[in-house]
Amino acid sequence: MFKRKYSISAGVSAVALACTVSLMSFSIWAQDDKPAIEVITHAGAGGGTDVNSRMMMMRSRRTLKQDMVVVNKRGGGGAAAMNYFLTRPADGNSIMTFTVGHAITMAAGKTKLTVDDMAPIARGTNDPQILMVNCKTTKYKTPEEFVEGMKAGDKLKFGGTQTGTIDHITVYLWAKRLGLPMPTYIPFKGGGELATQLVAGAVDVGTLNLSEAAAPVEAGDICPMVILSENGMEPIPDAKTSVELGIDLVLSTTRGFVTHAGVSDERRAEMEEGISAAMDHSLYQAYLMNSGLDASSPQGSESWGKQIASMVEEFGPALKEMGLVQ
């Protein structure tokens, strides 16, 4: 049913390895009068956010003519990294990799950091949330049938990664947009396990990113139905976007970069220009392609700032209505 236009599953680990090896041998580009920029992440070495940060850094060292070092602050769903970020001076030499997980932690009130404390620089990756079904067992042949089936009262079991995550919130908000109560939600440890269990029939719908389900999608075992995005995705042309279906819900697993709100406009513009140029380079673009993403992932400060504010604003009420925060 779903046409697959090119492979999206190969090469992610190879890119990550190349990134790590290259950074180990990277020469210092700092000028005498410029300190190294701290790039603060909440992920351990080798994690998705860590790799994304390092891929950005590879060319940004050159474009900014300034060395960059990763500072890993793990814990609290990003709270440790955000609280550390608050302690750093607003001199334009600190960058934090901000993710959808940070937005959830912020919306839940688990950090003192606020949206107003940050100045967006640029978005690095954007992996839309996608509602997927088992191709072989589902009765839905089109995205429209899937939506109409839910509206008609079909009781479906949804799967996602953990509780209180973007997957959990996605299922709640999807049902709410359709005027329905929260469906049965079954949490799994990770996207790979969820994809496997969707194929096995443990759930009816999986809330996944394309990169998480690349192999079973290509094999014809899992069919993407609804992309919670304004734009479609070339590898899955038969899936419809939520916007195309008239449903006002756009959600992604996303990562990008922010600095402090007190940084001068001139320095912020310099950082945005340098980092955006670095992500436009073929090396970073290859990383995106091999992660199942495309050139639309990197965005400038204006759209990235709007996305951050929208996530925090959307997640706060959702978490309360779901009973996950007081």
What is the 3 state secondary structure string of 62-97? HHHCCCEEEEECCCHHHHHHHHHHHHCCCCCCEEEE
Is the model's pLDDT at 19 over the cut of 70? Answer: no
Q: How much of the chain exceeds pLDDT 70, in percent?
A: 90
Report residue 32's pLDDT band, with 50, 70 and 90 as the boundaries: low
Domain assignment of residue 315, given as a range: 12-126+254-321
pLDDT recorded at residue 17: 46
Q: Are residues 191 and 228 in the same domain?
A: yes
Residue 27 within a domain: yes
Of 177, 210, 241, at which residue does a domain stop? Answer: 241
Report residue 31's pLDDT band, with 50, 70 and 90 as the boundaries: low
Is the model's pLDDT at 21 over the cut of 70? Answer: no
Q: Are residues 303 and 215 in the same domain?
A: no
75-114: pLDDT as tens digits: 999 999 999 999 999 999 999 999 999 999 999 999 999 9
Q: Are residues 264 and 122 in the same domain?
A: yes
Is the model's pLDDT at 163 over the cut of 50? Answer: yes
Is the model's pLDDT at 305 over the cut of 80? Answer: yes
113-149: pLDDT as tens digits: 999 999 999 999 999 999 999 999 999 999 999 999 9
The model's pTM: 0.89
Instruction: Check residues 322 and 10 and name the one with the higher pLDDT.
Output: 322
Residue 54 within a domain: yes
DSSP secondary structure letters along 4-57 = --S--SSSHHHHHHHHHHHHHTPPP---TT-PPEEEEESSPTTSHHHHHHHHHH
Q: What angle do CA 270, 274, 278 make, to 5 degrees?
A: 170
Residue 326 within a domain: no
Residue 9 CB contacts under 8 Å (≥ 6 apart), including other chains: 214, 215, 218, 292
Residues 242 and 258: their CA atoms lie apart, in Å, by: 28
Of 206, 241, 276, at which residue does a domain stop? Answer: 241
The values of phi and psi at residue 166, to 5°, are -60, -35
Residue 268 within a domain: yes
Q: Are residues 110 and 193 in the same domain?
A: no
Is the model's pLDDT at 152 over the cut of 70? Answer: yes
Q: Are residues 218 and 265 in the same domain?
A: no
CA gyration radius for the chain?
20
DSSP secondary structure letters along 248-281 = ----EEEEEEEEETTS-HHHHHHHHHHHHHHHTS
214-267: pLDDT as tens digits: 999 999 999 999 999 999 998 899 999 999 999 999 999 999 999 999 999 999
Is the model's pLDDT at 13 over the cut of 70? Answer: no
pLDDT recorded at residue 45: 85
Residue 220 within a domain: yes
Q: Are residues 122 and 262 in the same domain?
A: yes
Asked if residue 258 lies in contact with residue 275, where contact means CB atoms within 8 angstroms, the answer is no
Residue 301 within a domain: yes
Q: Are residues 25 and 70 in the same domain?
A: yes
Q: Are residues 117 and 23 in the same domain?
A: yes
Instruction: Check residues 211 and 188 and name the one with the higher pLDDT.
Output: 188
Q: Are residues 234 and 263 in the same domain?
A: no
Distances (CA, A) of 238 to 102, 153, 234, 297: 32, 24, 9, 21
Instruction: Check residues 72 and 46 and name the one with the higher pLDDT.
Output: 72
Is the model's pLDDT at 195 over the cut of 90? Answer: yes
Residue 5 within a domain: no
Of 241, 268, 295, at which residue does a domain stop? Answer: 241
pLDDT recorded at residue 10: 41
Q: Are residues 158 and 224 in the same domain?
A: yes
Q: Which of 8-22, 32-46, 47-61, 230-244 has the lowest mean pLDDT?
A: 8-22
Distances (CA, A) of 279 to 62, 136, 222, 255, 288: 12, 39, 31, 13, 9
Q: Are residues 115 and 175 in the same domain?
A: no
Q: Are residues 85 and 142 in the same domain?
A: no
A 10 A CB-CB count for 153 gives 7
CATH number of the domain that residue 207 is part of: 3.40.190.10
Residue 194 within a domain: yes
DSSP secondary structure letters along 276-318 = HHHHTSHHHHHHHHHTT--TTS-B-HHHHHHHHHHHHHHHHHH
Burial class (CB in 10 A: 0-12, 13-18, 19+), 228: buried
Asked if residue 192 lies in contact with residue 212, where contact means CB atoms within 8 angstroms, the answer is yes
Q: Give the chain's mean pLDDT.
A: 91
Give per-residue burial for 275-302: e unless 16+ CB within 10 Å, then b: bbbbbebeebbebbbbbbbeeebbbebe
Tally of structural domains, the chain: 2
pLDDT recorded at residue 20: 47
CATH number of the domain that residue 97 is part of: 3.40.190.150
Mean pLDDT across 163-189: 97
Instruction: Check residues 266 and 19 and name the one with the higher pLDDT.
Output: 266
